[in-house]
Structure 1
Amino acid sequence: MDKNRIQGTKHEVKGALKEVAGKMTGNHVKEAAGRLEKDAGKLQRDVGKVRDEHKKH
């Protein structure tokens, strides 16, 4: 398994938690930062998936 998949998932979860915390406290900056980190994590995870598929072939 590519390390980007693991790191991406970690950032995705961390960002989602940060986004929820921002929503709960009304902190729009924290909410946006969480959304950004979550989306970056999804992208990193997808890069890892592509690399894994490439290694198989």
Structure 2
Amino acid sequence: MVTTVRRRGGGGGCGRCSGGGGGRPQDTVAALTIELAKLADRIDVACIAHSSGTTP
């Protein structure tokens, strides 16, 4: 679920930027989207490890 929320949030930012509504450079939004996806992946790994009783 965390991954889905993070990726949807980042993707929406790119759409707003390219539509002219956000006023932020598209490359900055794209970079933030990538970093949020990486963070979501790390959170997922930690959650899976925690639920299985192991350490990532």
TM-score, normalisation: structure 1: 0.56
1:40 matched to 2:30? The reply is: no
Q: Does the aligned pair in 2 maintain the 1:22–1:28 contact within 8 Å? A: yes
**For this pair of structures, how many residues does the alignment match?**
50
Compare CA radii of gyration and give the structure with the larger one: 2
Q: Which runs of 5+ in 2 are unaligned?
A: none
Q: Which has the higher contact order (CA 8 A, sep 6+)?
A: 1
Structure that is richer in helix per residue: 1
Q: Does the aligned pair in 1 maintain the 2:11–2:33 contact within 8 Å? A: yes
Change (3 A) 1:28 1:40: same
Q: Root-mean-square deviation (CA), in Å?
A: 2.5
Structure 1's consecutive aligned runs of 4 or more residues displaced over 2 angstroms after TM superposition are 8-15
Q: Which runs of 5+ in 1 are unaligned?
A: none
Percent of aligned positions that are identical: 8
TM-score, normalisation: structure 2: 0.57
